[in-house]
A and B are shown apart, each in its own frame.
Chain A
Amino acid sequence: MAITLTQTAADRVEKFLANRGKGIGLRLGVKTTGCSGMAYTLEFVDEMHSEDVAFESHGVKVIIDPKSLVYIDGTELDFTKEGLNEGFKFNNPNVKDECGCGESFTV
């Protein structure tokens, strides 16, 4: 399995990285907080850790720590617009339940 980006998401990440002027890729992760168990995190990466796992999708390096990977393996990250709001969306096949707003989830 792997983590993938849609073409739209990859284009956005590349644009943001270029604008930021530094960074080697995108880090996905989960934190054990939130109203429904776990929450996603999304960060720029300036340096990799030794245990990190890396994937490449549409030319973007996706980095994830192995602990997080078990919860989000197979996830496809998309970039969408909802009305005036826009941002990244996790399509995670492992999710059993989400809190109302979708910011946290359980597997």
Chain B
Amino acid sequence: MALLQISEPGMSAAPHQHRLAVGIDLGTTNSLVATVRSSMSTVLQDDHGHSLLPSVVRYMPNGDVVVGHEAQAQQSTDPVNTIVSVKRFMGRSLNDITDKAHIPYRFVDGKDAEATRTLQIQTRAGLKTPVEISAEILKTLKARAEKSLGGELVGAVITVPAYFDDAQRQATKDAARIAGINVLRLLNEPTAAAVAYGLDNAAEGTFVIYDLGGGTFDVSILRLSKGVFEVLATNGDSALGGDDFDHRIYCWVLDKVRESSTNFAPLSEEDTRLLLTKARQAKEWLTDNFEAQIVCRLSNGTLVDVALTAPQLVEITQHLVTKTLTPTRKAMRDANLSIEVIDGVVLVGGATRMPHLRHAVQDYFKQEPLTNLDPDKVVALGAAIQANMLAGNKNDDDLLLLDVTPLSLGLETMGGLVEKVIHRNSTLPIARAQEFTTYKDGQTAMSIHVVQGERELVSDCRSLARFELRGIPPMAAGAARIRVTFTVDADGLLSVSAREQSTGIESHIAVKPSYGLSEDEITDMLKASFNSAEIDKKARMLAEARVSAGAIISSVTAALTVDGNLISDAEKQLIESEIQRLQLLTATEDATAIHNAVDALNHATEAFAAARMNASVSRALSGKNLEDIHL
């Protein structure tokens, strides 16, 4: 029978009406999915008991797509078709990627220079956008969630970094759409971490979220007032993470080995990976122990056997810890806050388990950071709590958490200046209108250029969209009144409309973000996923046809051996030839032909089946008196 979860008082769902919702942490290195069960937020595991899904997607030679650990294992053997850290490319054009030389992928710029400038990656499965690649990760998480919860999802809350701009948020939403996930809301990662710790239950406060992931470091300062989290400042280092600590230990081990052996050849790819893994294990072991032994044998026979103590680890990695404090200090300065006003520090990311890092954070903020939740899971747990509320599984008296716009939104005015319409840190959802006028006598059209950013010049801000308002009646300059409305929904996504006020004439306007995907592209991708559904269905039909063919062949063959004498040789030959035909067909891919051949064999054996029936009845009756037969 179905398994039940405990509901809040009075919130029991009707049968088959469970509102299953999940929180998804779509990370650069790892992704997770969590849900609220019996009022408790828990991370869902896969069949092997793993909570973390490496955010790695590999396009296989046979057309399959593999996501997670399996894909990660092939990262070095098939780098071009194995995409890691795709999150870095979300909503980005080729020009935004500065370190192309160090990335093995074959980038292709979007086809239409103005309309879609999203970059694409050439894989053996064709051109893939970061959105499609992310969708593969989301699909895997969705499947895991549906398997764990035993039903279809109502929706999900997906987390994004606080500094993600509109294009990156839109790209994340598009990825969810392709994966067939209804996005209840996009939530800032630091906000999700704060929610996981229940900080939103406090009336107000200022919190620091210190997030050291596998490859990125982010620090955010949040202010909570009246149920609204406001991002005061964010900072970070996109090239600093737990992996750098592993690498530091790895280099240290190599130095030790070189000291003891004179002729040490450069390491093979495989040995590098092995040593890095050992380095990571040592780092994790030293969280709770004083000494870690690093032992392994390299492919050239060299035995590595060194001991690393906790104080040594501190010594060799302290500079990395210090490096995180620079962006932290900057964020504090940007927010114009002193350390005394910080009410809590939340640690996020597996690397924050390291004791010396915790001490450094504690020393800086002069208070003990919050660490009782698993730092790898805290973002997903918070997202799940929010998803549960949005899906309607909580009592009404719980406030819905609101977010704010991360950057100001405005439009270009004469001279390449920015006129801000919605200022940063406005609470969402929001709609703001502003009136503009014409610049020239008899001007009948106006070009509206929507930009995002804090700078005053358009060239320093990010361009989001352009559109034209046409059909303005010819008037003297400054007489027309054009009302431009900016609307940002709860996910932080923007739509802009414009209307000529003085005459009431409304022009029809469609705003398309210059990044992200067009409706058509999304439709195409959805279609592609339907197409593969068709392929899946065909494969299933074929498998079923082969099973039924196998069954009938074996039963008819058995019957022929036993009762073959009941029918004429001609009939027997016919049946045998049908069997042969069917056997040949089962080797083919044609499910319909196999089905038809099964039917044909059935038909050919009708007379034989009847004959067998008669024979067995007469066998049962022969030599018996009528009285002996109980009818």
Bound Cα distance from A20 to B7, whole angstroms: 11
**Shortest distance from the beta carbon of B573 to any chain A beta carbon, whole Å:** 47
| A103-B1, A103-B2 given; A16·B147 CB < 8 A | no
Q: Please provide the chain B residues from 1 to 35 with a CB less than 8 Å away from any CB of chain A in the complex.
A: 1-12, 14-16
Is B37 a contact of A101 with CB atoms below 8 Å? no
**Shortest distance from the beta carbon of A85 to any chain B beta carbon, whole Å:** 5
- Which residue of B is nearest A19, CB measured? B40
Assess whether A31 is interfacial by the CB under 8 Å rule: yes
Interface string of A32-67 (1 = CB under 8 A from B): 011100011111111000000000000000000000
Is B14 a contact of A44 with CB atoms below 8 Å? no
Residues of B within 8 A of A (CB): 1-12, 14-16, 37-40, 44-47, 144, 147-150
Is A88 a contact of B3 with CB atoms below 8 Å? yes
10 A-B pairs, CB-CB below 8 angstroms? Answer: A27-B9, A41-B12, A42-B4, A42-B5, A84-B47, A88-B3, A88-B6, A89-B4, A103-B2, A103-B16
**Shortest distance from the beta carbon of B556 to any chain A beta carbon, whole Å:** 35
Is A85 a contact of B15 with CB atoms below 8 Å? no
- What secondary structure prevails in chain A residues at the interface with B? strand
- Which residue of A is nearest B3, CB measured? A87
**Shortest distance from the beta carbon of B293 to any chain A beta carbon, whole Å:** 36
Additional A-B contact list (17), CB under 8 Å, known A13-B6, A103-B16: A20-B39, A31-B14, A33-B15, A34-B16, A39-B14, A40-B4, A42-B6, A43-B10, A43-B11, A45-B9, A83-B147, A84-B47, A84-B147, A88-B3, A89-B3, A89-B4, A101-B2
Assess whether A7 is interfacial by the CB under 8 Å rule: no
Is A84 a contact of B44 with CB atoms below 8 Å? yes
Chain A residues, Cβ within 8 Å of B14: 31, 33-34, 39
- Which residue of B is nearest A34, CB measured? B15
Q: Which of B7, B45, B149 contacts A42 (CB 8 A)?
A: B7
Instruction: Report the contact-size class of chain A (Cβ under 8 Å from the partner).
Output: 35 or more
Assess whether A104 is interfacial by the CB under 8 Å rule: yes
Chain A residues, Cβ within 8 Å of B148: 84-85
Chain B residues, Cβ within 8 Å of A42: 4-7, 12
Assess whether A71 is interfacial by the CB under 8 Å rule: no
**Shortest distance from the beta carbon of A100 to any chain B beta carbon, whole Å:** 10
Is A85 a contact of B7 with CB atoms below 8 Å? no
Q: Which of B9, B10, B15, B44 contacts A39 (CB 8 A)?
A: B15
Chain B residues, Cβ within 8 Å of A85: 3, 147-150
Chain B residues, Cβ within 8 Å of A46: 9
Interface string of A1-40 (1 = CB under 8 A from B): 0000000000011011001100000110101011100011
Assess whether A73 is interfacial by the CB under 8 Å rule: no
**Shortest distance from the beta carbon of A99 to any chain B beta carbon, whole Å:** 8
Chain B residues, Cβ within 8 Å of A43: 6-12
Interface string of A65-100 (1 = CB under 8 A from B): 000000000000000101111111110000000110
Residues of A within 8 A of B (CB): 12-13, 15-16, 19-20, 26-27, 29, 31, 33-35, 39-46, 80, 82-90, 98-99, 101-104
Is B47 a contact of A88 with CB atoms below 8 Å? no
Bound Cα distance from A42 to B38, whole angstroms: 9
**Shortest distance from the beta carbon of B39 to any chain A beta carbon, whole Å:** 5
Bound Cα distance from A45 to B8, whole angstroms: 8
Is A44 a contact of B147 with CB atoms below 8 Å? no
- Which residue of A is nearest B150, CB measured? A85
Bound Cα distance from A66 to B3, whole angstroms: 24
Chain B residues, Cβ within 8 Å of A35: 15-16
- Which residue of B is nearest A103, CB measured? B15
Bound Cα distance from A42 to B18, whole angstroms: 13
Q: Which of A16, A34, A98, A99 contacts B40 (CB 8 A)?
A: A16
| A31-B14, A39-B14, A103-B16 given; A87·B5 CB < 8 A | yes
Pairs of residues from A and B, 5 with the lowest C-beta to C-beta distance, nearest first: A102-B1, A87-B3, A41-B12, A103-B15, A34-B15
Chain A residues, Cβ within 8 Å of B6: 13, 16, 26, 42-44, 88
Chain B residues, Cβ within 8 Å of A84: 44-47, 144, 147-148
**Shortest distance from the beta carbon of A34 to any chain B beta carbon, whole Å:** 4
Bound Cα distance from A6 to B15, whole angstroms: 24
**Shortest distance from the beta carbon of A21 to any chain B beta carbon, whole Å:** 9
**Shortest distance from the beta carbon of A55 to any chain B beta carbon, whole Å:** 16
| A27-B9, A33-B15 given; A98·B37 CB < 8 A | no
- Which residue of B is nearest A35, CB measured? B15
Bound Cα distance from A41 to B40, whole angstroms: 18
Is A86 a contact of B47 with CB atoms below 8 Å? no
**Shortest distance from the beta carbon of B180 to any chain A beta carbon, whole Å:** 19
Is A90 a contact of B1 with CB atoms below 8 Å? yes
Bound Cα distance from A7 to B37, whole angstroms: 19
**Shortest distance from the beta carbon of B322 to any chain A beta carbon, whole Å:** 37
Bound Cα distance from A46 to B39, whole angstroms: 14
**Shortest distance from the beta carbon of B67 to any chain A beta carbon, whole Å:** 17
Bound Cα distance from A13 to B6, whole angstroms: 9
**Shortest distance from the beta carbon of B385 to any chain A beta carbon, whole Å:** 12
Bound Cα distance from A13 to B38, whole angstroms: 9
Bound Cα distance from A20 to B38, whole angstroms: 9
